Amino acid sequence: MDEEVVRERDARAYEAVHDAADFKELKRRYKNFVVPWTIAFMAWYLAYVACNNWARGFMDHRLGGSHINVALIFGLLQFVSTFLIAALYGRFANRKLDPLAHGLNAKYKRERRR
């Protein structure tokens, strides 16, 4: 087949998928997860950086009689939140994004064959 013809056929198939209601839903779900969580983890991280700079008294506070202080706990919580958000996103993507994406992918293949 001529390269130009293939290109046009693919473009039509992409257009068809782009106009599908499922694609709008996929986009909506992706954005609704990614935007708030990105803002949240960036704010949480910058708060940690800022506290290291400007909240030394708070950070230096020791827990009980131990050598463990707020600064260390705050740092470790960054690890915990990163692990959690990564797991949450994986679960969300597997359940809410992948099924829609697979359906749309199949639609693209069907459209290309037309």
Interface of this chain with other proteins, residues 82 to 111, rule: CB under 8 A? 82-83, 85-87, 89-90, 93-94, 97-98, 100-101, 104-105, 108-109
Q: Which of 34, 70, 28, 32 is nearest to 52 (CA)?
A: 70
Place of tokens 């209601």: 21
4 is an interface residue for other proteins by CB under 8 A: no
75 is an interface residue for other proteins by CB under 8 A: yes
C-alpha distances in angstroms, 112 versus 44, 84, 99? Answer: 45, 40, 20
Nearest distance from C-beta of residue 86 to other proteins, angstroms:
5
Interface of this chain with other proteins, residues 20 to 39, rule: CB under 8 A? 23, 26-27, 30, 33-34, 37-38
Place of tokens 């959690």: 84
| Complex with other proteins: residue 1 or 67, whichever CB lies closer | 67
Nearest distance from C-beta of residue 56 to other proteins, angstroms:
6
C-alpha 3/C-alpha 6 separation (Å) is 5
C-alpha 14/C-alpha 20 separation (Å) is 10
Contact map string, positions 48 to 67, toward other proteins, x by CB under 8 A = xxx-xxx-x--xx-x---xx
* Three-class secondary structure of residue 64 per DSSP: coil
79 is an interface residue for other proteins by CB under 8 A: yes
